[in-house]
Structure 1
Amino acid sequence: MLGEVAAQQGGVVTRRQALAAGYSRHEVDNFVAFGRWKRLARATYLVGRSPAGISPRLSRIRAAVVSLGPQAHAVLSTAAELHGIAGLPRTTAIHVALPGRAARPARAGDPAVVLHQLEHAADAVTAVRGVPSTTAVHTVAELILRERRYVAVSLLDSALYSKVVGADELLTIPTLIRGRRGAVEARGYLTEASGLAQSPLETRTRLRCVDGGVPPDVLQVEVRDDDGYLLGIGDLGWRGPRVIAEADGRVTHAGPAALLDDRRRQNRLVNAGWTVLRFTWSDTLRPDYIPAVVRRAIAVRSLGRS
């Protein structure tokens, strides 16, 4: 019986569930003391090894939610993590919501668990990787009310690119946030969202260009030769002066194979008559740097054509 419960919860069970299955308190304590069960949250344990495909982080999130009862569900950055929405700094915090009255007596027993007195309608909560969580669109709506522009737009871009939020769902967000603090700014972030940005770094690079007065006229610009053969795709493009900006993230551009592929693609683009600029995360921390470099490249190309 307990095995079935554990299977449904990714190997996680509560003390109450173990007692209901016929185990004594002494047996549960012994299982924990001798390492057969691993305590993950208050009165919540991992039974045996983590099932295949379930990371220790996911087990901890599941345990935190399960330990707080049937009304608990992941919210905010934890919900975004479950949905695979990028753009927020990494954190060990686990954000869990409970309705107002249920949250008052609750104690997480773990300093990493942050409790929120939030109520959500039934259609705003779903199961994500086996964990009750706010839906992707509700998660994004609540986060952009709390985050500043660059992070908020990055979240929106990631949700759209990964298709966990559709363009039609994006149109419902103004209604979801109506009348809430931060709604005016958040509606502005929605107008800047793009489903073509493949990473938060691309979003930040684009916003720096927009703020610096040199917005790209195309994202994911395709460059082809006279026979239509695809030579490469640039992250941000200015088609008139034939300038491309690449956002070089540490994950997708790390390693010898990725480095070799980047160099070969850049050579093809340069030989096709394009200027290729490359920017990193640290470049986006300087408001003036990226637009200045882009503006100079555009100016040089314009002089070359005159």
Structure 2
Amino acid sequence: MTKNVRLGGTDLYVNPIGLGTNAVGGHNIYPNLNEETGKETVHVAIKNGINFLDTAYMYGPERSEILIGEVLKEQGKRDEIILATKGAQRYVDGKVILDNSPAFLKQTVENSLKRLQTDYIDLFYIHFPDEGTPKDEAVGALKELRDEGKIRAIGVSNFSMEQLEEANKDGYVDVIQGHYNLFRREAEKDFLPYTKEHNISFIPYFPLASGLLGGKYTKETTFEDGRARNPLFQGEAFIQNLEKVERLREIADSKNAEVAHVVLAWYLTQDSIDAVIPGAKKPEQVVHNLKTLDVTLTQSEIELIHSIFI
């Protein structure tokens, strides 16, 4: 039985392995998605003990929230699920406009509640900061919604360190979601010390670096999507990165695990990282991610992984 962990100072307790659902209805992110497969992926996640689901208005847009809402209605286990979603965008003439104004955020939450077919959201994030709204005012609007019971916890995503400090001026921020993985560790210099000090949970996105930390690629692997333009996947850097991943494979083999399991397990040893939310396009990937919970890293292994990617 998996022991659920507390997110920061909230009263939300989650399986440390959650599910990122941008591939569930996220047609604007991944082409040729099968929605029934996406729904089945969520069903299998819940059946296997995952209770932390992460979605967003922009996945689809809207479609991911709608599908998640359908699954929760079919499951009939809403009170057992910690449901996170994100918003801060609207479309104007086909363009995405960021809006953190209190009035817009309140309407965004109302819209998400309808799509998700629920009367409360466990964790609502401001998905992206806009340029004009004071961040403490934006979070203040979410505090009002928390007081009303429409959300249970307040999150911010993609905020700079300065924006996080402004957003948390009154101490209302519970969770921050940010870009962090073994190849991108800037958060260790500012975000992780701050979140530890303020009892805020840090949830990393892109934890497997677009698959590079999954251990499935070789020197011969080619890419035709956005990874082809990512410096991590280009030229000599790609070769060197693969060599680092191979060193992780030695640790994984010694534990009868896979590279991705070791990587995710390492994140969970870091201060403030209470949970990770790897994505999945198919049900079997969910089951694969859960094998992370069988991996226990020794202190020397934790330090070795740190040194490989420093």
**TM surpasses 0.5:** no
TM-score (structure 1 length as normaliser)? 0.30
TM-score (structure 2 length as normaliser)? 0.30
| Structure with the higher fraction of residues in strand conformation | 1
